[in-house]
Amino acid sequence: MRATGVGLKGKWQGALAGRVELAHDQRALRRKLVTLDNGLDILVDLPQTVALETGDALKLEDGRFAEIVAAKEPLYAITGTDTAHLAQLCWHIGNRHLPCQIETKSGVPQRLLIGRDHVIKDMLEGLGAKVVEISASFSPLRGAYSGQEHGHTHHHHG
C-alpha cells in the first residue's frame, strides 16, 4: 500500500487505516516505509519532503488515511527563574542549533523541551536552569533553514 498525499490535522476526512507513531526526527517524510499500529506496511511516496505533526494524516492510494502520532521521547524539561531567564536559556539552546519546543500558557513561555544530552544539561544547570528528565511527545520548532515544510504548504492534501 502506498501513501501519495497528506491530510492536515482537522481537515482530512475518511476511513482510518491505522496510526503510525513517529519521533520528531522521523516525521519529515518523502519516501519511506512505515508500519501502522495494526501491522500494515505503507510506502510513503510523496513528491516532496513534508514535516508532519500529530493529527496530520497520510492519504493512502485506496482513499483511507493513516494518522500521524508523535511518539514519546526522552527529553529534558527546562525552566528558568523568570521569562527573561528562559529567553536567555532559549538563546543558548538555539546557538547550539538544538531542536527545541517552547511550551506556553496564555502566550507566555513556561518551559523548553529538548532531547537529552548530559553535556547540554550541565551547561543549562550552570546557567541556573532547572532541568528535569521527562518522556513526552516532541514537536520542536522548525528552523528557518531546515529545508522542511509543514504540510500546511503542501499542495497534495487529502
Instruction: Indicate whether 88 belongs to any domain.
Output: yes
Q: How far apart are CA 130 and CA 6, in angstroms?
A: 39
Residue 18 lies in a domain: yes
Residue 154 is assigned to a structural domain of this protein:
no
Q: What's the CA gap between 15 and 74, in Å, rounded?
A: 32
Instruction: Tell whether 146 is covered by a domain.
Output: no
Asked if residue 53 and residue 6 are part of one domain, the reply reads yes
Domain count, the chain: 2
Whole-model pTM: value is: 0.81
| In a domain? residue 158 | no
Percent pLDDT > 90 in the chain is 87
User: In sequence order, which ranges of 6-128 are alpha helices (DSSP H)?
Assistant: 83-95, 118-126
Structural domain containing residue 89 = 72-137
Same domain, 55 and 17: yes
Is residue 14 one of the residues assigned to a domain?
yes
With pLDDT > 70 as the criterion, what percentage of the chain qualifies? 90
Over residues 66-94, the pLDDT tens digits come to 999 999 999 999 999 999 999 999 999 99
Burial class (CB in 10 A: 0-12, 13-18, 19+), 69: middle
* Secondary element (H or E) of residue 103: strand 101-105
- pLDDT per position as a tens digit, 102-114: 999 999 889 999 9
Domain edge (last residue) among 25, 46, 70: 70
What is the CATH classification number for the domain harbouring 83? Answer: 3.30.70.790
Asked if residue 85 lies in contact with residue 125, where contact means CB atoms within 8 angstroms, the answer is no
